[in-house]
Amino acid sequence: MIVKNNLLNFKDAYIYQDTDYFKFSLDSLLLANFVTINLRDKNILDIATGNAPIPMLLSFRTKANIYGVEIQKSVFDLGVKSIIENKMDKQITIINDDAKNVINLFGDDYFDVITCNPPYFDTNNSLFENVNSVKAIARHEKLLNLDDIFTISKRVLKTNGRLAMVHRTERLTQILDIASKYGFMAKKIRFIYPKENRNSDLMLIEFVKGGKKGLKMIYPLIVYDSDGNYNIEIKNMFGDDAHDTK
């Protein structure tokens, strides 16, 4: 069922979602707040954009042109509907295509920044396999894997451009190995913890294409306090109208 929800606390901003698919999650919000955006940035790409939460959130931080690419038509259509509803279509363009075709669409060295909230699980991990094909493609590296993301980014990202992603902590060493193979240097990492005294389950990483050595390890981000409410930093991302969810 398609529903229309508020886009966090942003005034008169909405997002269309399908309750049969994945709904806009905290992961996208954290990534949109984590990625480095500069005033001189002109073009930003969001790979595997889904229903476009990251492009819409980024539009509140920058005047750059923002592009998103999503292979699944049903999810893409929801993103288009949200962008038009919010009158963001002059700044945001999303494309219904395989992300690997971005190279042909834009050519080399076009983007200043790339963001990606990718499928978290490789195709060998059947524990989380979902019978819903839309969810399966979003969760598993069936159509887009880490090598694909770095191959695309190496081509279309400018030298010294930034690639930021959110991913599962358990895949850190694999991601760093692949990034190095394609000439990307990790420049900042932040681990996300569901609560204090719990292991990190997610992480935010920003790479620089052709970057020099030098890693900034940002202090941990703890999502929930001891009562199960969002911690103050998370609340500030939502704003004063945030509602606690457990």
Mode of pairing for the β-strands spanning 92-96 and 111-116: unpaired
Q: Is residue 29 part of a domain?
A: yes
What pTM did the predictor assign?
Answer: 0.89
Q: Is residue 242 part of a domain?
A: no
AA letter at 146: L
Report the distance separating Cα 32 and Cα 19, nearest Å: 23
Phi, psi values for residue 197, rounded to 5°: 65, 20
* pLDDT class of 121 with cuts at 50, 70, 90: low
pLDDT, greater one: 162 or 140: 162
DSSP 224: B
Rg (CA), the chain: 17
Q: Is residue 6 part of a domain?
A: yes
* pLDDT class of 22 with cuts at 50, 70, 90: low
Phi, psi values for residue 186, rounded to 5°: -70, 130
Q: Average pLDDT in the 188-215 region?
A: 96
Largest CA distance in the chain: 50
Q: Which domain holds residue 103?
A: 2-229
pLDDT of residue 88: 97
Q: Is residue 106 part of a domain?
A: yes
As given in the structure block, the two tokens for residue 119 are 């499928």
As given in the structure block, the two tokens for residue 92 are 């945001």
Q: Is residue 112 part of a domain?
A: yes
Could you tell me the CATH number of the domain that includes residue 221? 3.40.50.150
Q: How many distinct structural domains can be found in the chain? A: 1
Place of tokens 């620089």: 208
* pLDDT class of 240 with cuts at 50, 70, 90: very low
Q: Is residue 149 part of a domain?
A: yes
Q: Is residue 243 part of a domain?
A: no
Q: Is residue 93 part of a domain?
A: yes
pLDDT of residue 124: 61
Can you list the positions of beta strands (E) in the chain?
2-6, 14-18, 43-47, 65-70, 92-96, 111-116, 157-168, 184-193, 202-209, 216-222
Is residue 138 packed enough to be buried (19+ CB in 10 Å), middle (13-18) or exposed (0-12)?
A: buried
Share of the chain above pLDDT 70, in %: 87
Which range is least confidently modeled, 24-28, 51-55, 146-150, 154-158?
A: 24-28
Q: How many Cβ atoms from other residues are within 10 Å of residue 113's Cβ? A: 25
AA letter at 170: E
* pLDDT class of 5 with cuts at 50, 70, 90: confident
